[in-house]
Structure 1
């Protein structure tokens, strides 16, 4: 069975964000960390070397593969900030239509900078994601 690459670490979230070269992305990352902590009630933790996550849940696939992952998370990447949010399809479509300038991938929402999006809508997305994940994985922490 393959070992999960992205696990919670003891690395410092503050140190990780401090080393971001782009000043706007650094400021946005500190703001996102504060926003996600306020909405989730969980302290920011590093997952792997580049993901800032909040809370955790345990998953187990039919294949037998299992592991832990953050309930909500973000990762400042060179092209954009990746937001890891799991929201039911209908709600996600409604909220994305109101979010502002973004791109989407299979499981992520990508934003260049927080100034491009409505942070009130982003907070709603974080709350919806937390509710969705807590329903799907009731034994969260």
Structure 2
């Protein structure tokens, strides 16, 4: 399979043109080519080459003699820019969050209404639907070290059928302490999972949301 260079986020046209002129029109054609040789091409910069190497590694390939990538933190800013990775599927919609919750069945509808109340008190913000099932508060933009970027929400939730997903509540100065008092839950990289509201302390949840809301985006993930 051949991946066009323009499909790799964060690689500018000068770098793409220089690599193509050197006989490397596709990502996979860079496998085994010496890093220093490519970096010496006019128009090719270190950041763009790092992003290409990261994309190669995702496919089990690598340039020759490529250095380890430097640690770079993601950049987060409040507000939307409208700049999103081409393959980003989750976006803000015009669907009413309250209408979506009212259309849920049984306990999921009760849970959704309860969470709408709690998030509204904690943020003071109007909710917005993201994709078919996520309800978000606040608008932020992220840009990863790889160059991938997009718009998303600051904090939010999804009353899924299996369990409730809570977004953006980790990584604040007191989040570990509060999660220790929350009750029965599980965590992943960017989510806190709860089976049902009855399993947790809702006052602690509201405090977690408020703390995350008052923290700059990107500090909680």
Shift of the alpha carbon at 1:96? 1.2
1:78 to 161, 179, 203: 161
TM normalised by structure 2 equals 0.57
TM normalised by structure 1 equals 0.86
Give the Cα separation in 2 of the matches to 1:125 and 1:33.
15
Which residue matches 2:191? Answer: 108
2:179 to 85, 96, 101: 96
Q: Which runs of 5+ in 1 are unaligned?
A: none
Shift of the alpha carbon at 1:118? 0.6
Change (3 A) 1:94 1:20: same
* 2:96 corresponds to 1:12: yes
* 2:215 corresponds to 1:126: no
Change (3 A) 1:97 1:136: closer
Q: Does the residue aligned with 1:71 lie in a helix, a strand or coil?
A: strand
How big is the alpha-carbon RMSD for the aligned residues of Structure 1 and Structure 2? Answer: 2.0
Residues 59-99 of structure 1, C-alpha deviations (whole Å, 9 max, x = no match): 11222221111111101112100000243266222111100
Which is greater in Rg?
A: 2
Give the Cα separation in 2 of the matches to 1:37 and 1:48.
20
Change (3 A) 1:64 1:73: same
Superposed structure 1 runs of 4+ greater than 3 Å apart:
133-137
* 2:143 corresponds to 1:60: yes
Equivalent pairs counted in the alignment come to 136
Q: Which has the higher contact order (CA 8 A, sep 6+)?
A: 1
Q: Which runs of 5+ in 2 are unaligned?
A: 1-84
Q: Contact 2:171/2:219 (CA < 8 Å) preserved in 1?
A: no
Give the Cα separation in 2 of the matches to 1:66 and 1:135.
13
Shift of the alpha carbon at 1:19? 2.0
Shift of the alpha carbon at 1:136? 4.7
